Amino acid sequence: MAHDVIELRGLRVSGIVGVLAHERTQVQPLDIDLDVEADLGPAGASDDLADTIDYGALCAVAEEVVATTEFALLEALAERIATSVLAADARIEAVTVWVRKLRPPVAQQLSTSGVRITRSRA
């Protein structure tokens, strides 16, 4: 397993996620980070885009999941993103997905609420 990581930070998307009534009817802003583990040695040696993972394609995968599905839990959303990212490119060995609500529905002054999961190929 490679210890090389592509880091994608601060993907801003809007979607339906939550258990409260207003969260089920109104899109809300989400922040997504991805850490994608893959062998980046070939790209480092060749300096050829074809030898690495397409960053834009990974962002599009996460964006598509949020835009086309609704979830009660951030955990389920993160799981679907992780599964979709792993399926996007066979060279991806593992992915860590952070999903944060930028307007968490709590009474306290909380900047974000979120989850982080890591999934790898079986």
Active-site amino acid positions: 101
Q: Are the C-beta atoms of 34 and 95 separated by less than 8 Å? A: yes
Alpha-carbon distance of 29 to 34, in angstroms, equals: 17
What tokens appear for 65 in the block?
A: 């999941």
Across-strand partners of 12?
31
Residue whose entry in the numeric block shows the structure tokens 């030898």: 51
Alpha-carbon distance of 19 to 86, in angstroms, equals: 27
Alpha-carbon distance of 88 to 46, in angstroms, equals: 22
